Amino acid sequence: MSNDIIESLQKINGKTSFYFENLITGESLAYQPDLSLMAASIIKIPIMVALFYQEKNGVINLQDSYILIEEDKKPSCGALNVLHNGLELTIEDLCSLMIILSDNSATNILINLLGMDTINEILAELGYKNLKLNRFLFDREASARGIQNYVSAGDIADMLKKMYHGTLVSETSSEKMLEILKNQRLNGKIPFHFTEKIDIAHKTGEDTGITHDVGILYGKEPLLMLFLGNEVDVPVYERFMQDTAWMLYQNSINQL
């Protein structure tokens, strides 16, 4: 099975990265895990981590209020861009919207609150060399100038693994972040073939020629799965994600 996955990845046009680990047995498989790739909305996981880091250090209170204004609203993903000005949300609400609906407006509000430089400093302090926030979400001008956000499967895998073990920021923070990820509403990739109720703490990312899905599938044993793709045929790579996630899940059941 491992050889089949790697061979399939090698045949897919574009830049791809993959990481898998059974978090109980330690069985793992990786393909180009340190490859730096344009992040799309996967960068929202590191932003969430920086937010909880600042909460733990007393810099930010997740229950503080934020009032939505017209200037906050960004197109594309999310809900805030169609809601009324003056809407009162908590910082935690903004974080949930950023993750479960991939809300770009909520994301940019949080980047402003935290500070882009501060987010990058926190990520560096936590030891992540391949995670870099360089621009706001849906900033077409910056994107046209080649300014992008970057992630790697290896660094995001490390984040998710530490969340699972309760060691990313703090045990309480790890639990809260995983609960937010479990509420994900964009479920067309890793969860595609699953008809029974299984918790999947995950985050997707999409843009032109870009498609990602990363997370933890809580089956009989927790399975860490990360699929990242740049310059790919999006439907082809997403079908690979869907089928491979199901195959890895079925294989874990059969081995019990």
Q: What residues pair up with 37 in beta bridges, in sequence order?
A: 151
pLDDT tens-digit profile of 105-159? Answer: 999 999 999 999 999 999 999 999 999 999 999 888 998 899 999 999 999 999 9
Question: Per the structure block, which two tokens stand in for 188?
Answer: 């067309």
Q: How confident is the model at residue 30 (pLDDT cuts 50, 70, 90)?
A: very high
Q: What structural domains does the chain harbor?
A: 2-254 (3.40.710.10)
Question: Which of 16-29 are b and which e, b meaning 16 or more Cβ less than 10 Å from the residue's Cβ?
Answer: bbbbbbbbeeebeb
The region of weakest confidence among 39-43, 141-145, 240-244 is 141-145
Q: Percent of the chain, pLDDT > 70? A: 99
The pLDDT of residue 177 is above 80: yes
Q: Where are the alpha helices (DSSP H) in 69-216?
A: 91-100, 104-114, 116-125, 140-144, 153-165, 171-182
- Close Cβ partners of 125 (under 8 Å, ≥ 6 residues apart): none
The pLDDT of residue 256 is above 70: no
Q: Is the pTM of this model over 0.85?
A: yes
Q: Give residue 3's pLDDT.
A: 84
Q: Percent of the chain, pLDDT > 90? A: 90
What amino acid occupies position 4? D
